[in-house]
Structure 1
Amino acid sequence: MKRLPDDDCGFASALNVIGGKWKTDILWEINVAPRRFGELKRVLSGVSEKMLTQQLREMEADDLPGKVLRVEYSATEFGRSLNQAVTVMAHWGKAYEIRMAEKAERIVPMPVALSA
């Protein structure tokens, strides 16, 4: 995974950690409840075993999930704090989508005059 350069405010660092198609979904699922690998594979339809393994390893390196002896993934306290930040971003994203949809509805196309 390509890493973004660090920045003074830390936003790029946060994006580096959640960068990856499945990481926010994985983080969400293990924050809701501890999950075993097979459970994650089942609830995240469309993720390949290889991709899930890769994303979990990257997340482990970033100290987001913790494991117990039977290899069950759950969010660490540090991972839960990132999930809270991602939740705020998700709410902003939904508000943005609604705002743009409302804006598009207000734009009424000009009638086109047909020539005879």
Structure 2
Amino acid sequence: MPRSADNTTDQRLTALEHACRGVVGDRLRSVSVDGPDHSTTLYRRSDLSPGADAPVHEAMAEGASCQSPVFADGGRTVCSFENGYVTRIRVGETSVVATSDGIKMDRDTELSAAVRGILHE
């Protein structure tokens, strides 16, 4: 999805991508956002084929719960999946889903704070 720098929504989506990449680093696999105004993949690591984590993103965005959450609180869920970990952060009607090879809980807390900060702007 092409994004223009003068559109507030596009700026917010770009900020979400950069925040997720900055917090998780090289372990980040992919990031998607699903909300009333937009539904798209923001980032996919270059070594992954298109759609590699799409089923996980779709299930989490639709509110599927994992069988054994590693961590869950109001609006944030971390689960393991076959290729690593998936984190869903809900802010209002918007879900941001990030997959990673691995994630430490302090990084997940930072990721949640960064996403919430951007979506509440």
TM-score (norm 2): 0.27
The structure whose Rg is larger is 1
Higher-strand-fraction structure: 2
Higher-helix-fraction structure: 1
